[in-house]
Chain A
């Protein structure tokens, strides 16, 4: 997909909470199967943090880099699977806090880990059509795995925000995008259930790999591009192995994906995962570099984007806290504190 009017990223921002739970702590308590853990450690939200506070800090960083009048933001969309409310949008609270209300669209999107990139696709359309000047797309989560489940090693907290706007104001321009979805029951959560359920036989090949690779290959084919044309690659990262394996199968090399692969250090931030990886890339990219982004959401589907950075990127990188600065702000906790912070203890 290519919009009639060129559209890009005017500002981007990240947020990662400061607490880290090492994989060794999960293995110590739950007697892991041995072997390499899926990540080294994961980011854990503090007691006073949730998807809204994460989305809001990422958004403020995006606005610092964009420097636009918030009243000109015509859409505020937050993608997550851990919205604080079942009914009551996170988007209106973000919109209010940044001063974008009242004349704006605001909504929450839900598509497992690709809810944030879905918001970007919708934002591109709305900006390109001229209906709004700027659209805000956020992916943020405070994901929870059932205690003792394999997901507990990786289910992490974090988020990223993107202000979509006209290409001439952008630090990176969308060259082309593509979305690929099928009905695949790899992972789900019914209403009133606290923890998700995953169908082991669907999670790897038919879930993640099929959708990520199909979306990426179709986009490369459609644009006649090859892996070596890109300076950077970022994929959805539920662990360390999946994105590395998918990147290799697409013909990419480690130096293209290592900047955006944050899961070994912060875990799987779900709707934030591919989008946080992209913030780490934008923090260090130079002008006129090509980036391939492919998300994945269970259920299932992938959004793929080709971005080209512009000369405006360099001046805006330092206007907000970088993703690496957030990752470096690290406080290790043990499983007991983790259980308290994530409210896994019954207190009444």
Chain B
């Protein structure tokens, strides 16, 4: 399925669109000019399934400015089913219920909402998997 290039770049944050290398076939996230596996140019947009598992995690009690209301929250390295590891906030889970190897899935949530006048920032997070497949 052809996805216009302009869409792919704006959407890596909304819906986990990365690339697949047309030379070695590795899946790449975030999208970049050169394939980290074979150093060729990576070109084809690829929609990741959003499924993965917790590779490592830490709980943030003293968040940076703008994220105070969400604390405490857990930030994890998530190993995607297709290979790449991404850093993301976990949601819909109590910090004490997070474990290495836990199956998670991507959802789009508010990353930051600065109040009444600013643009709302949306992006991917991961939550414990509820999809049955």
Residues of A within 8 A of B (CB): 18, 46-50, 52-53, 56-57, 69, 71, 84-85, 93, 96-99, 101-102, 318, 320-321, 325-326, 329, 347
Contact = CB atoms under 8 A, between A and B. Distances in A.
B109 A53 contact: yes
Interface in B1-26: 1-4, 6-7, 10-11, 14-15, 17
B116 to A, nearest CB: 10
Contacts of A46: 91-92
A320 B47 contact: no
B125 A48 contact: yes
B11 A96 contact: yes
Contact of A102 (B1, B4, B122, B130): B4
B108 A96 contact: no
Nearest to B119: A88
A53 B107 CA distance: 8
B130 A325 contact: yes
Contact of B92 (A18, A99, A318, A347): A18
B120 A84 contact: yes
A96 B131 contact: no
B132 interface: yes
A321 B7 contact: no
B122 A101 contact: no
B109 A97 contact: no
Nearest to A97: B14
A157 to B, nearest CB: 13
Nearest to B108: A56
B96 interface: no
B15 A97 contact: yes
Given A71-B2, A84-B120, A325-B130, 10 more contacts: A18-B92, A47-B69, A69-B1, A71-B3, A96-B11, A99-B11, A102-B6, A102-B7, A321-B130, A326-B130
Contact of A347 (B47, B69, B111, B125): B69
Contact of B109 (A49, A71, A321, A325): A49
Given A69-B1, A99-B11, A52 B122 contact: yes
Contacts of A102: 4, 6-7
A100 to B, nearest CB: 9
A70 to B, nearest CB: 8
B107 A57 contact: yes
Contacts of B7: 96, 99, 101-102
5 contacts: A84-B120, A96-B7, A96-B10, A102-B7, A321-B132
Given A99-B7, A99-B47, A321 B92 contact: no
B110 A57 contact: no
Interface string B29-56: 0000000000000000001000000000
Contact of B122 (A93, A98, A325, A329): A93
B70 interface: yes
Interface string B91-114: 110000000000000011111000
B61 to A, nearest CB: 16
A49 B110 contact: yes
Contacts of A85: 120
A48 B132 contact: no
B130 A53 contact: no
A318 B3 CA distance: 27
Contacts of A329: 130
A97 B108 contact: yes
